[in-house]
Amino acid sequence: MSKRGKRYKQIKSKVDPTKRYDLEEAIHLVAQTATARLDESVDIAIKLGVDPRKADQMVRGTVVLPHGTGKTIRVLVFAKGEKEKEAIEAGADYVGGEDLAKKIQEGWLDFDKAIATPDMMSIVGKLGRILGPRGLMPNPKVGTTTFDVARAIQELKSGRIEFRVEKAGIVHASVGRVSFGVEKLLDNIKALLDAIIRLKPATSKGIYLRSLALSSTMGPGVKIDPVLARSVVK
């Protein structure tokens, strides 16, 4: 088991492990404990009162973060004809059909998100074993299989993220960078929580937001009071 360094222990001492902070306090603490030279990512983990093994309790969706994620997203689009032209004009990084499919089959994966028009899925479907495990497979449920190519590209470039509850009932997501500051990070977290709350399954009983924790890339986790978090979203 690896030992934590002196620096990590020092910054962790600023966080009370027994306390549940409100959102603003948590964001301030995450900023204080993010001491790496790089602009650290800020991530949130949300434990939900659902059983993902049951189809009617799967929580999955997308949300456009008001201030984006702070990351440059490279978008690939499978399209042809007018939709290919639309994708290029909308700022897609890569656009094509069978040529791109062949490159991917040969091991090329230098993109972050993939979009496909429905008429291209006969080509894209053959890439399922490559794109699926990496979360890159276009899917109509999250708006990446669509004829509205320009809108999908714009949303992905401006900060739309996908979220999905994992087997343990936890949703993990990146909500920005430390450099965003408290207000922007708070806006992004509120948008994500609002989207997750709206997707609460009818069959989910008891407490829905069980626990939340915020952390930077290299910093310790800061626990958040779920009741206070929900009240802020309201």
Question: Which residue range(s) make up the domain with 144?
Answer: 75-158
125 and 60 both lie in a single domain: no
Does residue 84 form part of some domain? yes
Q: What is the pLDDT of residue 14?
A: 80
Does residue 215 form part of some domain? yes
152 and 168 both lie in a single domain: no
Q: Give the three-class secondary structure for 214.
A: strand
Q: Following DSSP, what letter does each residue of 132-150 receive, concatenated?
A: GGGT-S--GGGT-B-S-HH
218 and 188 both lie in a single domain: yes
Q: What is the pLDDT of residue 19?
A: 94
CB 124 within 8 A of CB 118: no
Does residue 39 form part of some domain? yes
Q: What is the DSSP letter of 21?
A: B
Does residue 12 form part of some domain? no
Cα angle: 222, vertex 160, 130; to 5 degrees: 95
84 and 115 both lie in a single domain: yes
Structure tokens at 187: 């806006």
CB 178 within 8 A of CB 40: yes
Q: What is the pLDDT of residue 8?
A: 63
Does residue 7 form part of some domain? no
First CA to last CA distance, the chain: 42
54 and 169 both lie in a single domain: yes
Q: What is the pLDDT of residue 9?
A: 67
Please identify, among 121, 139, 158, the residue that sits at the C-terminal boundary of a domain: 158
CATH number for the domain spanning 90: value is 3.40.50.790
Q: What is the pLDDT of residue 16?
A: 85
Residue 231: half-sphere exposure toward Cβ, Cα within 13 Å:
8
Q: What is the pLDDT of residue 17?
A: 87
137 and 173 both lie in a single domain: no
> Measuring CA to CA, which residue among 153, 157, 197 is closest to residue 61?
197
pTM above 0.75, yes or no: yes
Cα distance between residue 45 and residue 213, in whole Å: 5
Domains: count for the chain: 2
pLDDT average per 10 residues of sequence, the chain (234 residues) = 61 84 94 87 96 92 93 95 97 97 97 97 96 94 94 92 93 96 96 96 93 93 94 82
